[in-house]
Amino acid sequence: VQYVTLVLRGVNAQTPTGYMEAPLSYSTIEDLQLLSWDNAPKYCVQLSFPGGTILLQAANSYLRDQWFHSIQWKKKIYKYRKVLNNPSRWDVVLKEIRALVDMALTSPLQDESIHQAPLHIISTLLAENTNLSAQDHENIIVAIAPLLENNHPPPDLCEFFCKHCRERPRSMVVIEVFTPVVQRILKHNMDFGKCPRLRLFTQEYILALNELNAGMEVVKKFIHSMHGPTGQCPHPRVLPNLVAVCLAAIYSCYEEFINSRDNSPSLKEIRNGCQQQSERKPPMPLRLLRPEPPTPPPTTTLSPPPALPLSPPPSIVNSSEILVELERNNNTTNTLCKAPAEGDSEPNLIDCLLVSPALNALSIQLPAHADRVLGCFALILKMLSDYDDWRPALASLLQPIPFPKESLFFYFCNRELKYVIQRFAEDPRQEVHSCLLSVRSGKDGWFQLYSPGGVACDDDGELFASMVHILMGSCYKTKKFLLSLAENKLGPCMLLALRGNQTMVEILCLMLEYNIIENKDTQLQIISTLESTQVGLRMYEQLCDRQRELKELQRKGGPTRLTLPSKSTDADLARLLSSGSFGNLENLSLAFTNVTSACAEQLIKLPSLKQLNLWSTQFGDAGLRLLSEHLACLQVLNLCETPVTDAGLLSLSSIKSLCSLNMNSTKLTADTYEDLKAKLPNLKEVDVRYTEAW
């Protein structure tokens, strides 16, 4: 179209008659046709104007047809834009819209603007005529539906669709027309940062589905249709787009909550120019419903019982009043939660709830719209977590906690997402449950939030215990993980162990076994905690037995070199090491045996071990991680023909004493090899034959 415009402006110097003296507008074209009679100029297009005729000659028939259809399309677009800019009768307008859509669909031209231009014309028409009836809205939407099958709606049209979803959520147009449009949005690469109205339209569509009679059942069927009937979703962009839509909707509830609390203008108000205090609604109060006090039982004494102070009836208070109420009901926390002085920042509400026992029992009621939106999209996140193939990516997307921590709304979001976190904690795959930990040091993760005393913990630590159980059962059974628990969560671990939680009892025993706790008083307190329950006492006695065996094993004496027969197993190695003292053992060969990573539990008990041969065994990554934390004096390690990968080999970088390392015929990559060479300064002999690094 641009090229034809240049031709009509007379820039094409290759025409037989030369330059045109003045440009000619598309609106002045009366007729347009291809020359087809005998002896006609070859590859020409004839344009008829009021003052004459112009022939455009192309180099070939393909270029001539491009000119013809482009000029014809441009001429019709000008015509429809003129007709629809000044509508008089809406029945005629609807007829013209259908003709415009048919013209765009039947055009042989292949260009994005062929379909987008009619959508922009219709969106301008709707923006300039806001007094249309609901039936007119539906007729227009049905008329342009064919164009939306393969094209995203422009921003103004998205605004119109959002309005229709809000005002008529039960309209059949929502199901029949909007469903394929939203499905197309979710299945394609979508930058919602550049196209926020597409995201808003998707949100309003889902909320409209939620307003139907079946409610969330309809939403659930929609999510299932996006995933597909198979176990693997064929569209990789569906999950990230759905998560982006859900998180944005939940965050909009947070924004509404903060704006209603602080009476500050929202982004929508700023866009609409409503920034003055007088132009906005009065602040929406935060409703705090106090539980009724228990009724005292009737007494048989003659004297009346002393009058108990009754709690006031349910009242509505603002955020600043909560601090005053806190001081009146809980005098012991006056120094922690005071009314804000002039110039000081107001303490956030969640801090007050955590400090004050008097307010912990309060149930907080969000505005009706925010509560509806929050419940709908939180439930969608729960649905997403039920699909096995989506769970790893969902855990990764939610690992950096996406909600603002400085607000009370953070408290509600985490409560709503507890089911999702439980699904992560139950998944045996490492890429899923490892996302429970913080994304980086210094930033809380879900593991910290759901620990006893955490913001979102409401179950006395049951979810926290299940997280610890799955993490300990995976590759996190390491000193590093135990050290972090001892430094940050020792109190919650001891509390749950005191209540008989077996996972926490095992954690405390491991802390004692690996000498994680150095303080003697803390060690005695842990021992007292273990002895207070039957399961703890039994496991502590087993620990004492292992410690006695360990002392006997590590007692100086015994051989300095040991070779196990081929086909030996983990049980054979354990039985052999339990038969005497091996404190002098420096060289151990397990080559061509059937040992696995499980034997690492026995190997770390050998304090003098310097040379270890694991050639052609089933020793894997989990065993390497354990060795790297406990065998700091290891100098020679043979991993030839073992199933180790980069994940386990990278952990060897902590054994600075290694001087000989055989990784022949393993899954070593070049990047890992370079990383090991840089981090192991004493490494002199390396065998990487038959690997990627060779």
Residue 94 buriedness (CB in 10 A; 0-12 / 13-18 / 19+):
middle
Mean pLDDT score of the chain, rounded to an integer? 78
pLDDT for residue 412: 61
CATH of the domain at 75: 2.30.29.30
pLDDT for residue 384: 95
Q: What is the mean pLDDT of residues 323-343?
A: 38
User: Which residue in 668, 663, 674 sits closest to 692, CA to CA?
Assistant: 668
pLDDT for residue 459: 81
CA neighbours closer than 13 Å in the CB half-sphere of residue 342: 0
pLDDT for residue 388: 94
Considering the domain boundaries, does residue 368 fall inside one? no
Considering the domain boundaries, does residue 292 fall inside one? no
The contacts of residue 648 (CB under 8 Å, 6+ apart) are 620, 621, 622, 623, 624, 625
More confident residue, 150 or 14: 150
pLDDT for residue 250: 84
* 523 has pLDDT over 80: yes
The contacts of residue 584 (CB under 8 Å, 6+ apart) are 556, 557, 558, 559, 560, 608
More confident residue, 282 or 168: 168
Binning pLDDT at 50, 70 and 90, where does residue 402 land? Answer: confident
Please name the residue that has the structure tokens 């970088």: 653
For residues 655 and 629, the answer to whether their CB atoms sit within 8 Å is no
Q: What is the mean pLDDT of residues 596-603?
A: 90
For residues 599 and 624, the answer to whether their CB atoms sit within 8 Å is no
Q: What is the mean pLDDT of residues 389-413?
A: 76
Are 7 and 77 part of one and the same domain?
Answer: yes
Most confident of 156-160, 586-590, 605-609: 586-590
Q: How far apart are CA 241 and CA 191, in angstroms?
A: 9
Binning pLDDT at 50, 70 and 90, where does residue 75 land? Answer: confident
Are 573 and 680 part of one and the same domain?
Answer: yes
Binning pLDDT at 50, 70 and 90, where does residue 475 land? Answer: low
Most confident of 70-84, 471-485, 531-545: 531-545
pLDDT for residue 371: 77
Q: What is the pTM of this model?
A: 0.68
Q: What is the mean pLDDT of residues 610-629?
A: 92
β-bridge partners, 587: 561, 611
Considering the domain boundaries, does residue 81 fall inside one? yes
Binning pLDDT at 50, 70 and 90, where does residue 14 land? Answer: very low
Give the tens place of pLDDT for each residue, 76-118. Answer: 888 888 888 777 777 788 888 898 899 888 888 888 888 888 8
CATH of the domain at 662: 3.80.10.10
Are 621 and 681 part of one and the same domain?
Answer: yes
Strand 660-662 relative to strand 315-317: parallel, antiparallel, unpaired?
Answer: unpaired
For residues 201 and 161, the answer to whether their CB atoms sit within 8 Å is yes
Q: How far apart are CA 100 and CA 56, in angstroms?
A: 27
Sheet containing 31-34: order of strands: 31-34, 44-49, 52-57
Q: How far apart are CA 443 and CA 437, in angstroms?
A: 10
Weakest mean pLDDT among 157-171, 342-356, 605-619: 342-356
* 668 has pLDDT over 90: yes
Domain boundary among 535, 556, 577: 556
For residues 41 and 56, the answer to whether their CB atoms sit within 8 Å is no
The contacts of residue 363 (CB under 8 Å, 6+ apart) are 288, 289, 291
The contacts of residue 243 (CB under 8 Å, 6+ apart) are 381, 384, 394, 397, 398
pLDDT for residue 299: 43
Q: What is the mean pLDDT of residues 208-224?
A: 91
More confident residue, 305 or 582: 582
CA neighbours closer than 13 Å in the CB half-sphere of residue 367: 16
More confident residue, 260 or 375: 375
pLDDT for residue 686: 94
Considering the domain boundaries, does residue 586 fall inside one? yes
Are 599 and 507 part of one and the same domain?
Answer: no
Considering the domain boundaries, does residue 40 fall inside one? yes
Structure tokens at 538: 């039994």
Binning pLDDT at 50, 70 and 90, where does residue 15 land? Answer: very low
Are 619 and 655 part of one and the same domain?
Answer: yes
pLDDT for residue 261: 62
Binning pLDDT at 50, 70 and 90, where does residue 209 land? Answer: very high
What secondary structure, in 3-state letters, does 420-459 show? HHHHHHHCCCHHHHHHHCCCCCCCCCHHHHCCCCCCCCCC
* 10 has pLDDT over 50: no
Considering the domain boundaries, does residue 239 fall inside one? no
What CA dihedral angle connects 243, 244, 250 and 255, to 10 degrees? 170
Considering the domain boundaries, does residue 484 fall inside one? yes
For residues 584 and 562, the answer to whether their CB atoms sit within 8 Å is no
Domain boundary among 556, 584, 606: 556
**Domain assignment of residue 519, given as a range:** 477-556
Are 564 and 627 part of one and the same domain?
Answer: yes
Binning pLDDT at 50, 70 and 90, where does residue 405 land? Answer: low
User: Which residue in 287, 407, 416 sits closest to 350, CA to CA?
Assistant: 407
Helix or strand holding residue 504 (H, E): helix 502-513
Domain boundary among 509, 534, 556: 556
pLDDT for residue 644: 94
Q: What are the start-end ranges of the H helices in 263-307?
A: 267-271
More confident residue, 460 or 17: 460
What secondary structure, in 3-state letters, does 18-87 show? CCCCCCCCHHHCCEEEECCCCCCCCCEEEEEECCEEEEEECCCHHHHHHHHHHHHHHHHHHHHHHHHHCC
- Cα–Cα distance list, 262 to 248, 286, 350, 535, 640 (Å): 21, 11, 15, 52, 66
Q: How far apart are CA 79 and CA 77, in angstroms?
A: 5
Binning pLDDT at 50, 70 and 90, where does residue 265 land? Answer: low
Are 569 and 681 part of one and the same domain?
Answer: yes
Binning pLDDT at 50, 70 and 90, where does residue 413 land? Answer: low
Identity at 94, one-letter amino acid code? L
Helix or strand holding residue 538 (H, E): helix 534-554
pLDDT for residue 260: 66
Weakest mean pLDDT among 70-79, 202-211, 296-305, 453-462: 296-305
Are 548 and 622 part of one and the same domain?
Answer: no
Considering the domain boundaries, does residue 133 fall inside one? no
What CA dihedral angle connects 53, 54, 60 and 61, to 10 degrees? -40
Are 568 and 683 part of one and the same domain?
Answer: yes
Strand 315-317 relative to strand 52-57: parallel, antiparallel, unpaired?
Answer: unpaired
Are 549 and 604 part of one and the same domain?
Answer: no
pLDDT for residue 359: 34
pLDDT for residue 83: 82
* 223 has pLDDT over 50: yes
Q: What is the mean pLDDT of residues 511-524?
A: 88
Q: How far apart are CA 149 and CA 147, in angstroms?
A: 6
Most confident of 119-123, 366-370, 380-384, 399-403: 380-384
Are 660 and 539 part of one and the same domain?
Answer: no
Are 563 and 683 part of one and the same domain?
Answer: yes
pLDDT for residue 27: 78
* 330 has pLDDT over 50: no
* 678 has pLDDT over 80: yes
Number of domains in the chain: 3
Weakest mean pLDDT among 280-289, 395-404, 532-541, 651-660: 280-289
pLDDT for residue 362: 38
Structure tokens at 594: 């059937």
